[in-house]
Amino acid sequence: MTYDIHNQKRKQKGSFTHALKHRSGLNVIFKHEEKQVFHMLGILAQEPFELIIELGTHQGGLTKLMEDIFPSLPIHTYDNVDLTRNNRKYFGEKVYFHIESVLVPSRSLIKLLSDPAKKLLYCDNGKKKQEVEMYSQYLYPGDLIAVHDWGNEIFWEDVQSYIGDWRRIGWPTLEYIGSTTRIWQKV
C-alpha cells in the first residue's frame, strides 16, 4: 500500500481532519476525505494537463498524492505559512514550494498562470472566492480550475460571474459521492 488515510478527529462541523501516512515516510494532517480525493484525482487524470498549481499546501498531503498520480508534471504549491519545511525530503524535484500570500496578486503565480502550457489551478487556500476572482482571468482555454470545500466555504454565487460559462468536469460523480471539490474547464 502506498498510503494510509484514516479519520483522526472531528475538527469542526462538517469538516474532518485525517492523517496521511505515505510509503515515503511522510506522515501529515490531511484535510480531504479519502473516497472523495481519489475520485477527484481520477477525474483529473482523464484531463491532460502539463502543470499543477496548488493554492493551499498545508502540510503537503494532497501535494504528495498529486505527485504520485502525476509524476511527470511539475507542481507549484503556494501557502503563506511554511508547514512543509521539515517534510520537503519526501517530495521529488518537480515539486516547488512557494511561501507567499496569494490573497494579494502574486507575480510568480501570475507568471505561471500566464504560461500557455495546459494547467490545473487547485484552489484550497481558505479564500476560494478571492482566489477564483483574482486568478481565473489568467487561465487559457483548456485549462482547469478546481475548488475544495464546495458548499461549505464557496458557493455557486461566489464563482458564477467568473467561471459560470466554463465546462463542468465530473460533476455528476463528484455530487453523487458527496465530494466537496468541483472542477471546471475554461472554454
**pLDDT one-digit tens code per residue, 21-38:** 777 777 777 777 777 888
Total domains present in the chain: 1
**Residue 43 within a domain:** yes
| Percent of the chain scoring above 70 in pLDDT | 89
Query: What is this structure's pTM?
Result: 0.89
Which comes out higher in pLDDT, residue 31 or 66?
A: 66
**Residue 18 within a domain:** no
**Residue 22 within a domain:** no
**Residue 16 within a domain:** no
**Residue 8 within a domain:** no
Q: Where are the beta strands (DSSP E) in 57-173?
A: 75-79, 95-99, 119-123, 144-148, 167-169
Q: Please list the residues that pair with 176 across neighbouring strands.
A: none
Helical ranges in 105-183 per DSSP H = 107-113, 128-135, 156-163, 171-176
**Residue 6 within a domain:** no
Q: Does pLDDT of 169 surpass 60?
A: yes
Average pLDDT over residues 100-127: 95
**Residue 17 within a domain:** no
Cβ density class 107-132: b for 16+ within 10 Å, e for less: eebeebbeeeebbbbbbbbbbbbbbb
**Residue 15 within a domain:** no
Indicate which CATH number applies to the domain containing 46.
Answer: 3.40.50.150
| Structural domain harbouring 64 | 33-185
